[in-house]
Amino acid sequence: MLQILVNGDQDKALKCHEKALKIRLDKLESNHIHVAYSYNNLGTVYEKKGEYDKAIEYYEKSLKIRLDKLGSDHIDVASSYKNMGIIYSRIGEYDRAIEYHEKSLKIFLDKLGSDHINVATSYNNLGNIYQNNGEYDKAIEYNKKALKIRLDKLGSDHIDVAISYGNMGSVYWRIGEYDRAIEYYEKSLKIRLDKVGSDHIDVALSYINLGNVYFSKGEYNKTIEYYEKSLKIYLDKLGSDHIDKGEYDKAIEYHKKALKIRLDKLGSNHEN
């Protein structure tokens, strides 16, 4: 799904976790498992702030302690591998991201079983990486695995199922299967409308996705319709805790695209 973060809250979280780390380092050994928790928490904050080098630094410190204290097959080690995989995916180092996610997946499979929701998350993460890397057959394979587990374990109307549907839609859009992409995007949108409401940022993301597919199909009226629905949500949320300037700029980008379509394809005198 799309995550909107408020920098002020992250700065407060950073200070709290730094204080906790200092106390733990003063009171405990430097390789104590609680110190690993603090390093992991700091890595999470830096990840949310977009400071990926620092996130990697703290995640690696946490991972080292967890490996030393808990062993290579512990669930917390799997979580550390997953965190590392997410970071490397964010910075475009897909081979390293796959390596970490596969390590995480192996532990989850061994410890939790093939139908556990954490396994679905690993499949989801790998599917996204393969999509970003242009390996669309593998992306479909892993996203289908994630979707099946989520449907079985969470039910057909869960928000994580909506994420899987959205991921499937994205892959089919990229390979030019537009009708299948629309099918999955509409399933994702329906769940989001039911679960989070018509004015949620994730609904705006669904509208953008549908607008993109209709643009690719050359159906410009629908493209404009969905882009402008998305823009309305972003504008309504601007200034709240749900959106930052970067997301607003993204919405404006799609609105400008919609306006250009209107002028180019429908004529500057077209009436809504």
What confidence tens digit (pLDDT) does each residue in 103-122 have? Answer: 999 999 999 999 999 999 99
Token representation of residue 157: 């109307």
CATH code of domain 9-112:
1.25.40.10
At 224 the pLDDT is 86
Q: What percent of the chain has pLDDT over 70?
A: 85
CA distance 190 to 148: 18
At 32 the pLDDT is 97
Q: Name the residue among 111, 169, 179, 178 with its Cα closest to residue 143.
A: 169
Q: Crossing angle, helix 75-90 and helix 52-70, to 10 degrees?
A: 160
At 7 the pLDDT is 45
Query: Domain segments of the chain: what residues?
Result: 9-112
What confidence tens digit (pLDDT) does each residue in 50-70 have? Answer: 999 999 999 999 999 999 999
At 237 the pLDDT is 78
